[in-house]
Chains A and B, each alone.
Chain A
Amino acid sequence: MSDYHFDFFYVVHGFARLMQGLVISLELTATAIGIGTFSGFILALATSSPNRLLSVPTRLFVETFRCTPALIQIVWFFYCFPMLANVFWSPFTMGAIALTLNLTAFNSEAYRAAIQSVPSAHRDASVALGLSKWTQALHVVFPQALRFASPVLVSNAIGLFQQSSLVAVVSVEDLMYQGKILAVETYRPIEAFTTVAVIYFALSFPISQLAARVERHYARLLA
């Protein structure tokens, strides 16, 4: 153990800045969850479609995002996408797009299994009631799949909150970015980065505990 003297004075001083960063991190996460919870479902329907024109490209999309590091995805959207598409949006927007697509891909895998858990008798009933494919997907399958998939969706969301820290490398001023600035300005990297880690933990841990609890509750109900 080194005889390092902890001094949180500057970190406490810079706490407001960390909170600003946290707001950005939460905005990014909320955007990705808000869109990804539904787009993941739509993507899951597409990947399991009997129409290969739909299933093959969407499966490719999912595997691309699952089999490449999130860091590359973020960097690619920040540096490469604007050049290819000739659009120049804010770092926040590019980060949000990358994270949302990433979460969509992971959520679609959770939904794929969940959709298969919806009893096929409900399909019969939907046809007998004359519901359109879209009404059936939206009002019969989605609410049930959401319930079945929720443990994985929550763990994906927590994972995404952690991954959102990667946007700091493309100068999105999130919690990680502000922590880095604070560390450099105060010459106190240990205090700054430890505080940042504690903040990530303090938000993620209760949610993961709560989710595990809810999951056990449902498991008991279904047993």
Chain B
Amino acid sequence: MSAAPFLEIRDLRKSYSRGAIPVLNGIADTMTKSDRLVIIGPSGGGKSTLLRCIMGLELIDGGSIVLDGRNYIARTDNGKTFIDRVLQRQVGMVFQHYTLFPHLTVLQNLILAPVKRNRERKSDAIGRAETLLSRFGLASKLRSYPSQLSGGQKQRVAIARALMLDPKLMLFDEVTSALDPELIAEVEAMILGLADGGMPMMIVTHDMGFAKNIATKVLFCADGTVMESGDPQTFFAAPKAQRTQEFLAKILRGTKV
């Protein structure tokens, strides 16, 4: 591929307990602006941690991230190292467990950050929220509280809430893992819709069908490193690394893909 990398992760390292428990051992990879990077791998392999580091939720030991030509080098501050916070403002993230604020309505959840963080006028934020929610078929839920929504609706609202901040990159961390099977499709359809709209994204998922569907590039992460990466056709049909072959054999045995 000739396109300039949109996101470049260099030698990202993280450990817990002062290096005793390594989680990321120098992860490095790139993605272009048109890529949908799907990260798969065994639990504890560092997939979620990678997303959390990019989002600024975790301290790191070292490494850097280049987004859209700008290098966000790890900064050291009182012995703690983290990626420059400016990066956070360009990235949106949705989590496995519903993280809507339960005391706020759908609309209030959506406008909280734009109004409080970006000092956007409340009426403007409400207008954008209404447009966004009707685009995703959630207009009728505007004044509902999260407890009144289904799991699928909650995750769709959470995605809309992240989109309110106009992120350049979206991170999805197992967003369908906690959902009942019949609710997964609506969330995946929404993410596919965003992908069609040209939103660059990184997706951690255990759903291989969805991974095949949406990925333009697949990353296999285990033991805190990238074991294999490539385009989804080659990756799923003819994985090169032995760990990848074993993982896919294990996970595909029980699932229809």
Interface residues of B (CB under 8 A from A): 52, 55-57, 88-89, 91-93, 95, 97-104, 112-113, 116-117, 158, 161-162, 165
A216 to chain B, nearest CB (A): 18
B117–A128 contact, CB under 8 A? no
Is A144 at the interface (CB under 8 A from chain B)?
yes
B112 touches A124 (CB 8 A): no
Query: Do B165 and A130 touch across chains, with their CB atoms under 8 A apart?
Result: yes
Contact between chains at B99 and A124 (CB < 8 Å): yes
- Is A213 interfacial (CB-CB < 8 Å)? no
6 more A-B residue pairs beyond the given contacts A128-B93, A139-B112, with a C-beta to C-beta distance below 8 A: A119-B99, A121-B99, A124-B95, A125-B100, A125-B158, A143-B104
Q: Is A183 an interface residue (CB 8 A)?
A: no
Whether a CB of chain B sits under 8 angstroms from the CB of A31 is no
Q: For the complex, is A49 an interface residue (Cβ under 8 Å from B)?
A: no
A75 interfacial contact with B, CB 8 Å: no
Using an 8 Å CB-CB cutoff, how does the interface string of A136-154 with B read, 1 for contact, 0 for none?
0001100110010000000
A134 to chain B, nearest CB (A): 9
Q: Tell me which residues across on chain A come within 8 A of B97, comparing CB atoms.
A: 119, 121
Cβ–Cβ contact A135 & B99, under 8 A: no
Query: Contact: A135 with B103, CB < 8 Å?
Result: no
Q: Is the CB of A129 within 8 A of B165?
A: yes
Question: What is the minimal beta-carbon distance from B72 to any residue of chain A, in angstroms?
Answer: 15
Contacts of B102 in A (CB 8 A): 144
Which residues of A are at the interface with B, using a C-beta cutoff of 8 A? 119, 121-122, 124-125, 127-132, 135, 139-140, 143-144, 147
Task: Give B103's nearest chain A residue, CB to CB.
Answer: A143
Task: Sort A-B residue pairs by CB-CB distance and give the 8 closest, nearest first.
Answer: A125-B99, A129-B113, A128-B93, A143-B103, A135-B116, A121-B99, A130-B117, A121-B97
User: Looking across the interface, which residue of chain A has its beta carbon closest to that of B94?
Assistant: A128
Distance A57 CA – B91 CA, assembled complex (angstroms) = 39
Known contacts A122-B101, A144-B103: A128-B116 contact under CB 8 Å: no
Instruction: Point out the residues of chain A lying under 8 angstroms from B56, CB to CB.
Output: 127
Chain A residues near B158 (CB-CB < 8 A): 125
Contact, CB under 8 Å: A131 / B99: no
The reply to whether A121 and B57 form a contact with Cβ atoms under 8 Å apart is no
Q: How far is the CB of A71 from chain B (nearest CB, A)?
A: 38
**What residue of chain B has the Cβ atom nearest to residue A130's Cβ?**
B117
**In the complex, chain A residues whose CB is within 8 Å of the CB of B92:** 128
Residue of A nearest to B55 (CB): A128
**CA of A135 to CA of B114, assembled, Å:** 12
Cα A144 to Cα B102 in complex, Å, equals: 8
Report whether B113 and A130 are in contact in the complex, using a CB–CB cutoff of 8 Å: yes
Across the interface, which residues of B come within 8 angstroms of A121, CB to CB? 95, 97-99
A124 touches B117 (CB 8 A): no
The smallest C-beta distance from A160 to any residue of chain B, in angstroms, reads 26
Q: Is A124 a contact partner of B103 (Cβ separation < 8 A)?
A: no
A127 touches B99 (CB 8 A): no
**Bound Cα distance from A132 to B117, whole angstroms:** 7
A124 touches B165 (CB 8 A): no
Shortest beta-carbon distance from A222 to chain B in Å: 11
Q: Are A140 and B101 in contact (CB under 8 A)?
A: yes
Cross-chain contact A124 with B57 (CB below 8 angstroms): yes
Q: Which residues of A lie under 8 Å from residue B100 when comparing CB positions? A: 125
